[in-house]
Structure 1
Amino acid sequence: MTTSTTGTARIPTRPIGTSGLEASVLSLGSWHTYDRMDFSDAVEMVSFAAEHGVTLFDVGVYGVRGMQPPPLTDVLFSAIVRAARLRREDYLLSEKLWLEGYGDDGFRPQLEHALFRVGSDYADLVILGDLRRDDLDLRELVLDLASLTEAGLIRAWGVNNWSAANIQALLDVAAAEGVAGPQIAQLKYSVSRRSIPDGDPFARLFEQGLTMQASDVMEGGILAGNIAPTREVGRDPGSVRERIVQTVPGLRALAAEFDTTPAQLAVAFTLTHPAVTTTLFGASRLEQVRQNLEAVDLVSRIGAETLRARVEPFWVDRDVVDPAGP
């Protein structure tokens, strides 16, 4: 882990797998984020995040041509970083690639369209979406991504919520072909959902150099105290969301004991996992970013082992969700 101390205090960075890239321990995501914000507020928020060391920004094309209203959060991001006067070399861009759009021409048409929308010549990282197809040739997939790397369109790639077995298959294919395999797995990880990232199947992957991007760490805002979110919330593996809601008062009490907030406690917990490169969060207010940045210090203040032990009662998907993944 490295920390820059030049000027404004900046959060640390950690390696993205074995790629040679490093990302800030917190990354800012854009799931219909910027299209819900005043533009000036979005520029201020992104500027503040970058100034304090957030280097990884996650965007994606969340919609299809002709959709009404049109999906614009990634397009807005291209204007936001220009207005914030961020140079392209000052940040890492993470794009989504959807397997539903993977066909005879590979990922290239989809990626070029996404890069056109976001105003960049390349993505530092691409994350493949959930695997819902059984007709994919993993060797062709790995070689296609290798060709995008060779063309300078991407620098590293990873997967979102793939099973341990399928990730191992990708790693094996990449090793056999002499090309780079997946470097990072984006996984649901929170004080409530720990079975997959903390299980043995993924531990074996982490031993091979794979790292993790923790996502959905607030359970759609529930763990921050919003027990009845009005916006769309992610999938509910194991159907444990109601049990998660029931743990909120206890989590709130523990946060008060540590003189912090439930949201900060939730973020800090994810950073205690030794394989976590970065924790992805969405924010539509500057104060949310400020609070999450402050959560980084909680790990050293409380201690990783103590923090993990004290939140263990809130682990609700234990023995419910298969640790091997979907």
Structure 2
Amino acid sequence: MEQTTRPFGRGGLTVGPIGYGSAALGNLFAARPDDVWPRIVPAAWQAGIRYFDTAPHYGLGLAEERLGAGLRDLPRDEYVLSTKVGRVLEPNPEYRPGETDIANLFDVPTTRRRRRDYSRDGVLRSVEDSLERLGVDRIDVLFVHDPDEFEREALEGAFPALDELRSQGVIRSYGAGMNQTGMLTRFVRETDLDIVMCANRYTLLDPSAERDLLPAAQERGVSVAVAAVFNSGILATERPRADATFEYGAASPELIARVDRIAEVAERHGVTVPQLAVQFPLRHPAVCTVVLGADTPEQIERNAGLATPAVPEAVWDELAAEGLLG
């Protein structure tokens, strides 16, 4: 897989094959130790990663704050930064000491709370707050975050606001980030967005985006970033563990057996399941980058190397022949 950059949206941005998704900096699932999280962004940079994605949702703003700290001394013109709108953070007057946000998967104190807001005012407020938390003077890409139950509000409020920000040169590109393809496809067709982020729906185990989203993106000249290519864990190791997770729940025995068969094919050709998981989506011409999370500097260093060398075409042929693709 080539390490060359690809156009990202229509605003002149380019990205490499691997980006860093910063949910772990917001203490996703568990708190990151103070001697670990500060080393993650420098490790990503050292490994050649130049695209960084975050969101107010991640750790109630903590991920933005920590990502900003990691980027602070790096040359701003040499990386692409995206965050998201749709969840405005406010002080939580009901906070009680010791309460955490673990119900939303983040191990952080609930001193703030989220308010879903896809209005123009909500977008502008969210952008202003994100700039402050990140400590930067500009954000390159803004995504409307998970508007599953707010499609009308996003179409009438958020997207026109983002279009205005792009036309003013405040941002370079905008789009939407979701765990589904149906609504993303409608947004591609009905708005002038130029980037989408699709999580969990273009992977070795679920390539459903190729039925609707990817053809629409190609037709409309929209760039696609693919996230969650490990399907929350089952594809992250060379062999699936007995307690492997799939989309944040326990993987079924049948799914584990299928990934074992994929691993057998990979091993015959001297490659690994994580390499396949990363390079599968990058083979599609609409896909510009794969966004990977990491809990430690060592993980991001490993992840950054998964796009090269290229998986031999014979591997894909064998997986297809055995009915293991899609």
Q: Give the one of 207, 213, 235 matched to 1:194.
A: 207
Q: What does residue 18 of structure 2 align with? A: 26
SS in 2 for 1:160: strand
1:300-315 correspondence runs (5 A): 301-303=311-313, 306-312=314-320, 313-315=323-325
Equivalent residue letter for 1:25: P
* CA distance 1:39–1:259, shift in 2 (3 Å): farther
1:134-213 correspondence runs (5 A): 134-136=151-153, 138-161=155-178, 166-167=183-184, 170=187, 174=191, 180-188=192-200, 189-196=202-209, 198-200=210-212, 202-213=214-225
CA distance in 1, matches of 2:179, 2:43: 33
What's the CA shift for 1:20?
A: 1.8
The question of whether the paired residues in 1 share the 8 Å contact of 2:188 and 2:220 is answered with no
CA distance in 1, matches of 2:253, 2:10: 38
* CA distance 1:34–1:170, shift in 2 (3 Å): closer
What's the CA shift for 1:163?
A: 6.5
What's the CA shift for 1:73?
A: 2.1
Q: What does residue 93 of structure 2 align with? A: none
TM-score by length of 2: 0.76
The question of whether the paired residues in 2 share the 8 Å contact of 1:139 and 1:173 is answered with no
CA distance in 1, matches of 2:211, 2:188: 19
TM-score by length of 1: 0.76
Q: What does residue 70 of structure 2 align with? A: 80
The question of whether the paired residues in 1 share the 8 Å contact of 2:23 and 2:63 is answered with yes
The question of whether the paired residues in 2 share the 8 Å contact of 1:16 and 1:184 is answered with no
Equivalent residue letter for 2:208: S
SS in 2 for 1:297: coil
Q: What does residue 56 of structure 1 align with? A: 51
Q: Give the one of 250, 268, 279 matched to 1:268.
A: 279
Q: What does residue 96 of structure 1 align with? A: 84
* CA distance 1:311–1:158, shift in 2 (3 Å): farther
The question of whether the paired residues in 2 share the 8 Å contact of 1:57 and 1:92 is answered with yes
* CA distance 1:217–1:272, shift in 2 (3 Å): same
CA distance in 1, matches of 2:127, 2:319: 40
The question of whether the paired residues in 2 share the 8 Å contact of 1:122 and 1:152 is answered with no
The question of whether the paired residues in 1 share the 8 Å contact of 2:26 and 2:58 is answered with no
Higher mean C-alpha deviation, range 120-129 or range 182-191: 182-191
* CA distance 1:134–1:246, shift in 2 (3 Å): same
CA distance in 2, matches of 1:272, 1:311: 15
1:230-269 correspondence runs (5 A): 234=247, 243-269=254-280
The question of whether the paired residues in 1 share the 8 Å contact of 2:7 and 2:14 is answered with yes
* CA distance 1:311–1:75, shift in 2 (3 Å): farther
CA distance in 1, matches of 2:222, 2:252: 28
Equivalent residue letter for 1:314: L
What's the CA shift for 1:284?
A: 1.5
What's the CA shift for 1:291?
A: 2.5
Alpha-carbon displacement from aligned partner over 1:59-105 (angstroms, at most 9, x marks no partner): 111268xxxxx6522211111223xx312222111102126322352
Task: Quote the RMSD (CA, aligned, Å).
Answer: 3.1
What's the CA shift for 1:184?
A: 2.9
CA distance in 2, matches of 1:276, 1:42: 29
Pairing 1:110–2:102 present: no
* CA distance 1:22–1:201, shift in 2 (3 Å): closer
The question of whether the paired residues in 2 share the 8 Å contact of 1:268 and 1:298 is answered with no
Alpha-carbon displacement from aligned partner over 1:183-229 (angstroms, at most 9, x marks no partner): 33424221101022x21553133122112111111111111234525
The question of whether the paired residues in 1 share the 8 Å contact of 2:196 and 2:224 is answered with yes
* CA distance 1:151–1:234, shift in 2 (3 Å): farther
Work out the number of aligned pairs and report it: 288
CA distance in 2, matches of 1:168, 1:271: 19
Higher mean C-alpha deviation, range 205-214 or range 98-107: 98-107
What's the CA shift for 1:117?
A: 1.1
Q: What does residue 41 of structure 2 align with? A: 46
Equivalent residue letter for 2:231: E
CA distance in 2, matches of 1:156, 1:283: 25
Q: Give the one of 296, 305, 308 matched to 1:285.
A: 296
Pairing 1:228–2:243 present: yes
CA distance in 1, matches of 2:177, 2:118: 15
Question: Any gaps of 5 or more consecutive residues in structure 1?
Answer: 4-10, 65-69, 175-179, 319-326
Equivalent residue letter for 2:166: T
Aligned sequence identity (%): 24
* CA distance 1:123–1:201, shift in 2 (3 Å): closer
Question: Any gaps of 5 or more consecutive residues in structure 2?
Answer: 88-115
